[in-house]
Every structure is written in structure tokens, then in C-alpha cells.
């Protein structure tokens, strides 16, 4: 977790802000920190105040809508329902999302499949992210390639590909169930794997997204997806 001034030191409005923060360098969170008042209390809504840093394109994590940066000196105030949060993803990011529906605790679903969510910095633009894995118990630095792994995920030139920084022998690499790219309105003619096999995909017009279904048991380190326009 990072203070806003740490990630955006040139914006004076963030020097003394404690009401929002960065989770890593990709996710901005403005939590609910006040009690609902007046009519909002009866509507089960709560006011949240936030600002999106300059020079960036952002995506609302829940709606997937694009959000422009907030002008210097200004703040956005919005009322959110009980099930909503002010969470935004910086364009140019790739998030590995653990699929944990119906899990009542983390341990049973730690080895579930994941979904790779791509938030490009323009239509079919660039994005990157990473996934770190270890068994949660071993001293990975004593045997780095067997006890842990770090995968670097990149999207560039209409292709998503994964490189292994370390951990070639790590056994618990998760499977990727699907890949979703947001902020795109142009439908590709086809989407293929590294060997040219076609992948099934669905376009969601409302969220300007394309959902790609990966073959069963596709390990994260083996993912290669090509968008053929």
C-alpha cells in the first residue's frame, strides 16, 4: 500500500491526503471513511471523495468505464451503495485475478484458476503486470527456482505473452481460465494461440471488452494470445 504522494510526487493536492491510496502502482482506492448522513443513510449510500491523478487514463474497476484524470485542485464526490467501492485501475496495467466464487476462506481456493484482466493505455495499446507465487512457508531465497516464481505479463503489438523471471521449476503455477481486454471497440477477425489455434471469444459492447476463453489446463507461464485485426 502506497501513499498518493509517493506515487505522484508532483501533485501538491496529494501531499496530505489520507483518504485514498495506491495498492501497488496499478490500483487506486478511495475507501469509505465517514458515516452515511441524512437521505444517504436511508438510501444505504455513502459519500466518497477522491481525485484521479493527472496525465493518466483510469478504469473504474467495477463498471470498467474509462475515467479521465481529475483537474488539478478539484475533487470528485460521489455516493456509492453498500456493495460499491471507489476503486480505479491505471491504464497500462494487467491484473491477475484469482477466481474464488463459492470459497468461504482463502486457503481452499489459493490454487484456483486465474483470469488475466488487461487495461491498455489506448485501444489495443500496451499494458504490463506481474504475478508472484510461493508456497507461503518456505524460505524461497534458498532455492528460488523451486520455491517461488515471478511471471511478467505483457500486452504489446496486439499480443499477450508471459515471461518467467524466475521459478522455472516451481510446481504450483495456476491455470489461466480466461483473458479479458477492456477499452476496445474494434472486434478482431480472430484470436489465436502461439501455435495458430483459434480461441473462442465474446464481445461485451456495454463494457467495451473482449473475453477470451483459454484452453483447459493452460498454465500461466505458457499463455500467448494474438489478436488478429
Average confidence (pLDDT) over 214-222: 96
Domain 2-90: CATH superfamily is: Golgi alpha-mannosidase II (2.60.40.1180)
The 10s digit of each residue's pLDDT in 139-154 is: 777 788 889 999 999 9
Helix ranges (H only) for 85-182 are: 106-109, 144-147
Question: Going by CATH, does the domain composed of 93-228 fall within 3.40.50.12780?
Answer: no
Mean pLDDT of the chain: 93
pLDDT tens digits, residue range 53-81? Answer: 999 899 999 999 999 999 988 999 999 99
Residue 212: pLDDT band (50, 70, 90) is very high
Residue 135 has what pLDDT? 79
SS3 call for 61: coil
The beta-strand segments (E) located in the chain are: 2-3, 21-23, 27-30, 45-50, 57-60, 66-68, 76-81, 86-90, 93-98, 114-119, 127-134, 148-156, 159-166, 176-182, 190-192, 201-204, 209-213, 224-228
Give the pLDDT band of residue 105 (cuts 50, 70, 90): confident
pLDDT at 190 over 80: yes
N- to C-terminal Cα distance for the chain?
A: 38
Lowest mean pLDDT among 35-44, 78-87, 111-120, 212-221: 35-44
- Asked if 2-90 and 93-228 have one fold, the answer is yes
Indicate the DSSP class of residue 13: G
Span of 28-37, 126-135, 169-178, 191-200 with lowest mean pLDDT: 28-37
How much is the pLDDT for 28? Answer: 98
pLDDT of residue 109: 83
Tell me what pLDDT residue 137 has: 78
Percent of the chain having pLDDT more than 90?
77
Q: Where are the domains of the chain?
A: 2-90, 93-228
Q: Give the separation between CA 21 and CA 200, rounded to whole angstroms.
A: 37
pTM as predicted: 0.93
Amino acid at each position: 500500500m502506497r501513499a498518493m504522494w509517493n506515487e505522484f510526487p508532483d501533485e501538491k493536492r496529494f501531499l496530505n491526503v489520507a483518504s485514498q491510496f495506491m495498492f501497488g502502482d496499478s490500483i487506486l482506492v478511495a475507501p469509505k471513511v465517514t458515516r452515511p448522513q441524512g437521505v444517504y443513510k436511508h438510501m444505504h449510500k455513502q459519500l466518497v471523495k477522491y481525485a484521479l491523478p493527472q496525465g493518466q487514463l483510469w478504469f473504474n474497476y467495477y463498471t470498467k468505464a474509462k475515467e479521465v484524470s481529475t483537474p488539478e485542485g478539484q475533487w470528485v464526490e460521489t455516493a456509492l451503495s453498500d456493495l460499491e467501492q471507489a476503486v480505479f485501475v491505471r491504464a497500462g496495467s494487467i491484473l491477475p485475478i484469482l477466481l474464488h466464487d463459492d470459497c468461504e476462506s482463502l486457503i481452499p481456493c489459493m490454487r484456483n484458476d486465474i483470469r488475466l484482466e488487461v487495461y491498455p493505455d489506448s485501444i489495443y495499446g500496451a499494458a504490463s503486470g506481474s504475478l508472484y507465487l510461493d508456497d507461503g512457508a518456505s524460505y524461497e531465497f534458498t532455492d528460488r527456482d523451486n520455491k517461488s516464481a515471478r511471471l511478467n505479463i505483457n500486452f504489446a503489438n496486439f499480443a499477450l505473452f508471459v515471461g518467467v523471471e524466475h521459478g522455472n521449476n516451481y510446481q504450483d503455477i495456476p491455470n489461466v481460465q480466461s483473458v479479458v481486454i477492456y477499452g476496445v471497440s474494434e472486434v478482431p477477425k480472430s484470436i489465436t494461440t502461439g501455435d495458430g489455434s483459434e480461441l473462442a471469444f465474446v464481445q461485451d459492447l456495454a463494457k467495451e471488452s473482449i473475453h477470451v476463453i483459454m484452453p483447459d489446463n493452460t498454465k500461466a507461464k505458457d499463455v500467448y494470445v494474438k489478436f488478429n485485426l
